[in-house]
Amino acid sequence: MTDHDASSARRRARVGGPDGPRDPRGSAAGRQGSALAVLGALLDRSLAQIADAAADARRYDRETIRAVSDVWDDNTYPLFHAATAGRRGERERRALAALEWMADFGTKRRAWMLEQASTAGHALEDLLPVAKANGPGRDHRGHVMAPVTAMTPESAAGLAADYDLPTVEVRYLLVERAGSTLTGHLRLAAAPTCRVGDGTSPAPAVLHIWLRDVAEVRFDSYDARGAALRTEADGVSIAIGAHGTLRAAAADLYPDDREWHLSASGRRADATTPPRDVDAPHSAPPQRGRLGTNAAIAADILFNAMIEIRGVRHAVPPRPGTAEHGPWCLRVLTRPAPTRFQLRTEAFQGAGRPRDTVDEVGARHFVLHDGALDITNGKEPDHDPR
């Protein structure tokens, strides 16, 4: 049997034969082996996850809502295209192509699919091709590209060697609730070091650090220069400036750097990363085809709804309706420019009169510890809420 024949045989096996399974509803194994059933179950699980993540403001999970709704940007129409095919075998082939396209988006997307399919009682892994290795790739120029990596002693040391961390500047800091925990996203403008190139000054890079299960945040916007990354027995910590710190259970690192291939880490990766295969087939979206009138209307409604839901990624604290340049509001909080206030979880529970607010200029020093957020204007001595 040739390689092509073997591949075709494996594909036929996954869908149950040239015309698909004879009776996909006849057994548990048949139900688990149906690609179309899995695709539909992933939509059902998506709706359930979005509803759960938005059900309670005290446990609101914006990132889960964004990530799950984003799945259906490229996959809504392939789902309907598969479900409306005339023959069972064609439905299965289209659904399998849609699943493979969906899983090819990345390791996190694939892991989400496997988890949600398992929750719905489907064995998805047997339907998908072997996962691609997660490592550096190459761009259209053939230059090696930086991957997203977990923060470990080795990756932290590599970042410190590639960039001048004592001079980085905080460009963005987000800490938000994700269900029962807090997540964070830190962006640092960084100057590259030790570059081997044409003698020109290297372009600045942006270092992205995503934190999971944030335990503590101490940040002063007037003390936002310099950073140090450390791994500890109970997680990771990032020192910012002279007194700032972020502590979390884990973190991922990614240098957004067009010239990363010239860094020490990039040169090491270049030595072990295969050349870019320009003749290799590129992943392409499944054929959409033409939907019937009713199916097209239903697909459009679902697609547009998911795009609207995905808009939570642009959510910002609301401003007062009467003062364009007035103080911004934290949920129900509305009092201008206090010297200090402490915000606890109770401030978000239930309706009631506004309690406290803070002016954009007045607030620059933030401390999050043991479930309380302490915000000051920097004019008082540092206060430890512990």
Ranking 292-296, 332-336, 340-344 by mean pLDDT, the lowest is: 332-336
DSSP string, 135-185: S-EE-TTS-EEPPPEE--HHHHHHHHHHB-GGG-EEEEEEEEEETTEEEEE
Instruction: Look up the pTM and report it.
Output: 0.70
Tell me: the pLDDT tens digits for 104-143?
A: 888 899 999 999 999 999 999 989 988 877 777 877 788 8
**pLDDT digit string, tens, across residues 15-54:** 443 334 333 333 333 344 699 999 999 999 999 999 999 8
What's the mean per-residue pLDDT of the chain?
A: 77
pLDDT grade, residue 345 (50/70/90)?
very low
Contact status, residue 66 vs residue 312, Cβ threshold 8 Å: yes
CA–CA gap between residue 42 and residue 37 (Å, rounded): 9
Please state the rounded mean pLDDT for residues 201-213: 88
- How many CB atoms neighbour CB 173 within 10 A? 19
Which amino acid is residue 236, in one-letter code? V
Identify the bridge partners of residue 225 per DSSP, sorted by sequence position.
Answer: 169
Asked if the model's pLDDT at residue 318 lies above 70, the reply is: no
Angstrom CA distances, 154 to 150, 229, 312, stand at 10, 11, 35
Of 167, 175, 136, give the one whose Cα is nearest residue 255: 136
DSSP 241: T
Extract the tokens encoding 312: 């939570």
Q: How far is CA 177 from the centre of its chain?
A: 14
Using one digit for the tens of pLDDT, what is the confidence trace for 45-92? 999 999 999 888 778 888 899 999 999 998 999 999 999 998 999 999
| Cβ-count burial 63-90 (b if 16+ within 10 Å, e if not) | bbbbbbbbbbeebbbbbbbbbbbeebbe
- List the chain domain ranges: 3-134+292-312, 138-272, 316-386
Largest CA distance in the chain: 79
